[in-house]
Structure 1
């Protein structure tokens, strides 16, 4: 085992060299002086939501202590502790008025949504939050093989083997490190333009809610590898593999992987419709959105009724045609 790995004093779990806390039980890791250790900071306004478990740094200047993820007011003040300090921050470009407009337009779309949803939805909570992400970069080397039906002239077989190599470098592979938002939600908000990121000193984080990193880097790596593999397979398919192919195989080797902790802007909104509350998220840089919403059961019943009526009509028509055929046969 590497000398850079230590065991947690509470649960005995392995602690990676860049971990500030045990990924198994959350116990704070001993401070290291190694050059690989990321910078840390001390949070003086640390809160944990009793409703959803989100951990965040909260400014005392904010109007009310309310969790932006679930709306709960049951926030428990935590002790000062080490947190992962972001290397860069992506500032908000979408203002509150624009975020409200984007939400109204987005929730009104979709055949299965109630037709009056956009007009009758009431925004109950709306908070700009800096959400933590790990931003990965790596070099990928790939050996690929495939069979193609585009055989050379004079070949006797129907399929012809192909193989090749491909090298690429990918940057800006995002993995959400939020403890309150789901991986699907954090991925649906992508992409972000990371070229516009600035140092944390250039952003007034004290006037925003900042969620702390709840996913350790070593647990984000497998998701980053999956993202890199998907990007590389698409690149190989697009550049080298002919359209009519089968048995496409790609063996990847990832090298020189690096990662940075960053804070990205997200508008977290909660709206109410007919006594039900739904969460809606907006990328604070691009305006891309994702969220929950009610289903119009009237439209659902109507569509089901039409499908049933059509099926019954086809059955009756088939029965009539069958009876007519028997009658003509006699």
Structure 2
């Protein structure tokens, strides 16, 4: 048995406000998406449902950015999301409608408020979870075990720790065509050798600058912009890259058993983030085009056209754990297993390392002076 895809072109011209519920047809328990099988699975009776085949690749359509700025997004591209807002970190997460007791996946704070309905741009695609919770926990345990100056009991504590949370993080992706005219200077390094008054040969270096100008062009595809401030940018950057070639058209079936955070950074602000990444690439292209040994960029004027975007969801496993009265958070890329996060330090190990360093330095100084 398979469920219909939610990316049909015949979708009603009204925003959807239905919650996501996945009852097992055999026993009534909740189904969940099983990453290793790529299907919906019931943990109670073992029933499985295959997901509907992905539509043609062109089903992952981009939306026009200018239309979004002027509020001309078609109603069929909007939905009413019912999110639960965390009173601690502010994350807005959508859970299965069958769940009555909820916990924020980002900070483990109980979420007891009623769902807050609000209209938003619906996701066009997502990257399904490829790692199970057990696989993510093994990756986390290995990461914790490899940390320098970590307390001895940390890995054992984490292995026996609380349940991990699987959640989809919201992103924007942007496509654009750019053409950039620049003015700058090309530097050529010239070296001359001369003999000094002391008889030693020295090399003098001078740079001769030439004014240059030119044009570079680049087409950008799927430039990522994080659409949530819940996690620090350096944290999510550390678990990149994301394999966006594995994106599939959005279907709520992939969310069975997982949470999904709603975006809190709008498409216009997301475009500013993506534009910063584009500008950095354009500046690199300009330097390559200038050539020479050194480059100076005086000015870049970029024309940008055909800007399109889409809202996508990317998978994370998150463990928020408490160790000796302090809370730490570890984040695992749910597709490739890369791990990053916060960690405690052992003051005894640090003190011992400092003591050893002082002893080694003292021994070295003793023999050097001797």
Query: How would you bin the TM-score normalised by the shorter chain?
Result: 0.7 to 0.9
Post-superposition Cα deviations, 1:178-223, rounded to whole Å, max 9, x if no partner, equal: 2422222233232211121112227332432111111111112221
**2:239 is the alignment partner of 1:189:** yes
Shift of 1:270: 1.6
**What is the aligned partner in structure 2 of residue 39 from structure 1?**
77
Other structure's SS at 1:184 match: helix
CA distance in 2, matches of 1:165, 1:306: 58
Work out the CA distance in 2 between the residues paired with 1:252 and 1:302.
Answer: 56
Q: TM-score, normalised by structure 1?
A: 0.74
Kept in 1: contact 2:216–2:289 (CA 8 A):
no
Deviation at 1:87, TM superposition (A): 1.1
Q: Offset of 1:55 from its aligned partner?
A: 0.9
Question: 1:178-257, aligned counterparts within 5 Å?
Answer: 178-201=228-251, 203-237=253-287, 241-242=291-292, 244-248=293-297, 251=300, 253-256=302-305, 257=307
* Compared CA separation, residues 249 and 107, structure 1 to 2 (3 A): farther
Q: Distance in 2 between matches of 1:304 and 1:35?
A: 60
Any conservation in 2 of the 1:268–1:279 contact (CA below 8 Å)? yes
Q: TM-score, normalised by structure 2?
A: 0.67
Deviation at 1:280, TM superposition (A): 0.8
RMSD: 3.3
Q: In the alignment, which residue of structure 1 is the partner of 2:102? A: 65
**Counterpart pick for 2:113 among 76, 86, 109:** 76
Structure (1/2) with the larger strand percentage = 2
Q: Could you report, residue by residue, the CA deviation over 1:211-270 in whole angstroms, capped at 9, with x for unpaired residues? A: 11111111122211111122333455567645x425355625151232211111111112
Matches for 1:1-330 after TM superposition, within 5 Å: 18=68, 34-35=72-73, 39-43=77-81, 45-62=82-99, 64-121=101-158, 122-142=160-180, 143=182, 145-150=184-189, 158-161=207-210, 163=212, 164-201=214-251, 203-237=253-287, 241-242=291-292, 244-248=293-297, 251=300, 253-256=302-305, 257-308=307-358
Asked if 2 retains the 8 angstrom alpha-carbon contact of 1:89 and 1:203, the reply is no
Q: Is the 8 A contact 1:51 1:74 kept in 2?
A: no
CA distance 1:249–1:287, shift in 2 (3 Å): farther
Q: How many residues were matched structurally?
A: 288
Q: Give the whole-Å Cα distance in 2 for the aligned partners of 1:187 and 1:313.
A: 43
